[in-house]
């Protein structure tokens, strides 16, 4: 099997320098190396082709995000000098919910490139390849309809789901495997019965984003029962993680989606500086093989993972599992 991996070279221009944490400025971990090392590692696998995505129009952002948010992003970015970063000053007026996601001159264009990466990979799946992988950076799963945060500006996976649905009510499932809860994705689809959203993540009682990700959150209105949260304790190892994943996959199978979107965060690795699980390299191959047993058309969209070396090893083992499962 040939599997295409999409990566936009312009992500190299996205260079956030710092974030405010516990009242102190610290280095922002969303560095280009976390994608570049991953891309290099994947390119060395048999059956993998690295593909440059095509550019999509800015209007695709409006499939998910409101025009006021887009206008605010443009206003803020256009006003910045190339060497400056803007952080929220008044929450509610400013459209970022934390102090870890600076705006820069090119943030709007960088985030659109990330969306284009996900949509190009989606087109590859729609055109007949069972699986494609989007190395989207910046990530997306913390961005909701009108607010960003968590290093995320636009929700790549959510936009891909809406783009796939087009004018139909096609059933889509989003499985989020990032260490952090997908608060943005959940918010976007919380009342939607056509998109079944499942997240395995660190317990929000002690881990970012704290505001969401509890088991009791299952959707509302027509979407009641179409959101599933599986918070896991600090230090979760591969055996427990895979048992939880099997619960998630059974729920997805019962839903019967026409497309599975995996928001893949490799910050679940034991060596990640931000996550707090204890998965090791070989676990990711097992995880992939479990997922691929569903035999669904699958789009993989990269999210977090902030130890570049560990992230590259984890994602490479995940892709090996995909390739082994699909022949």
Per-residue pLDDT of the chain (327 residues; tens, 9 = 90+): 789 999 999 999 999 999 998 889 999 999 999 999 999 999 999 999 999 999 999 999 999 999 999 999 999 999 999 999 999 999 889 999 999 999 999 999 999 999 999 999 999 999 999 999 999 999 999 999 999 999 999 999 999 999 999 977 799 999 999 999 999 999 999 999 999 999 999 999 999 999 999 999 999 999 999 999 999 999 999 999 999 999 999 999 999 999 999 999 999 999 999 999 999 999 999 999 999 999 999 999 999 999 999 999 999 999 999 999 987
What's the confidence (pLDDT) of residue 167? 72
Q: Among candidates 2, 13, 19, which has minimal Cα distance to 112? A: 13
Rounded to 5°, angle at Cα 68 from 73 and 168? 110
- Active-site choice (8, 14, 65, 142): 142
What's the confidence (pLDDT) of residue 303? 98
What's the confidence (pLDDT) of residue 92? 86
3-state secondary structure of 280: coil
Alpha helices in 152-201 (DSSP H): 156-165, 183-189
Q: Are strands 24-27 and 18-21 parallel, antiparallel or unpaired?
A: antiparallel
What is the rounded CA–CA span in Å between residue 270 and residue 276? 7
302 is catalytic: no
Alpha helices in the chain (DSSP H): 33-43, 67-78, 107-126, 156-165, 183-189, 238-255, 281-292, 308-326
Kindly list the structural domains of the chain, giving each domain's residue range(s) and its CATH number in brackets, ordered by start. 3-326 (3.40.800.20)
Q: Among candidates 158, 171, 178, which has minimal Cα distance to 62? A: 158
What's the confidence (pLDDT) of residue 327? 75
What's the confidence (pLDDT) of residue 175? 99
At 172, list the tokens: 């889509």
What's the confidence (pLDDT) of residue 81? 97
Whether the model clears a pTM of 0.85, i.e. scores above it, the answer is: yes
What's the confidence (pLDDT) of residue 1? 75
The residues with which 18 forms a beta bridge, in sequence order, are: 27
For the chain, count helices (H), then strands (E).
8, 10
Residue 226 DSSP one-character state: S
What is the rounded CA–CA span in Å between residue 103 and residue 123? 29
Q: Among candidates 161, 133, 160, 151, which has minimal Cα distance to 257? A: 161
Q: Print burial letters for 236-256: b (CB count within 10 Å at least 16), e (below 16).
A: bebeebeeebeebbebbeebe
Residue 112 DSSP one-character state: H
Non-local CB neighbours of 126 within 8 Å, separated by 6+ positions: 164
What's the confidence (pLDDT) of residue 19? 95
């Amino acid at each position: 099997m040939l599997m295409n991996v999409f990566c936009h070279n312009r992500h190299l221009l996205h260079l956030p320098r710092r974030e405010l944490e516990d009242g102190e400025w610290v280095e922002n971990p969303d560095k280009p190396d976390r994608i570049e090392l991953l891309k290099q590692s994947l390119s060395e696998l048999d059956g993998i082709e690295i593909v440059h995505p095509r550019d999509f129009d800015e209007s695709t952002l409006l499939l998910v995000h409101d025009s006021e948010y887009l206008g605010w992003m443009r206003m803020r970015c256009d006003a910045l000098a190339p060497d400056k970063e803007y952080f929220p000053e008044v929450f509610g007026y400013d459209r970022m919910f934390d102090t870890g996601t600076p705006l820069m001159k090119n943030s709007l264009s960088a985030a659109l490139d990330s969306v284009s990466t996900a949509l190009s990979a989606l087109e590859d799946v729609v055109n007949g390849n069972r699986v494609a992988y989007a190395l989207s950076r910046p990530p997306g799963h913390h961005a909701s309809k009108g607010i960003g945060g968590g290093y995320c500006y636009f929700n790549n996976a959510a936009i891909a789901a809406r783009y796939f649905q087009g004018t139909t009510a096609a059933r889509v499932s989003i499985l989020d495997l990032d260490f952090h809860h997908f608060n943005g994705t959940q918010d976007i689809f919380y009342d939607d019965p056509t998109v079944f959203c499942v997240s395995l993540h660190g317990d929000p009682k002690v881990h970012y984003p704290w505001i969401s990700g509890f088991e009791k959150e299952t959707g509302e209105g027509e979407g009641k029962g179409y959101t599933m949260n599986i918070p896991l304790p600090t230090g979760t190892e591969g055996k427990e993680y895979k048992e939880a994943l099997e619960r998630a996959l059974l729920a997805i199978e019962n839903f019967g989606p026409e497309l599975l979107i995996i928001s893949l965060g490799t910050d679940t690795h034991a060596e990640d500086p931000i996550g707090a699980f204890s998965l090791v390299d070989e676990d990711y191959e097992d995880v992939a093989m479990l997922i691929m047993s569903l035999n669904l058309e699958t789009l993989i969209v990269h999210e977090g993972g902030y130890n570049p070396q560990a992230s590259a090893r984890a994602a490479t083992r995940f892709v090996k599992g995909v390739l082994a499962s699909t022949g």
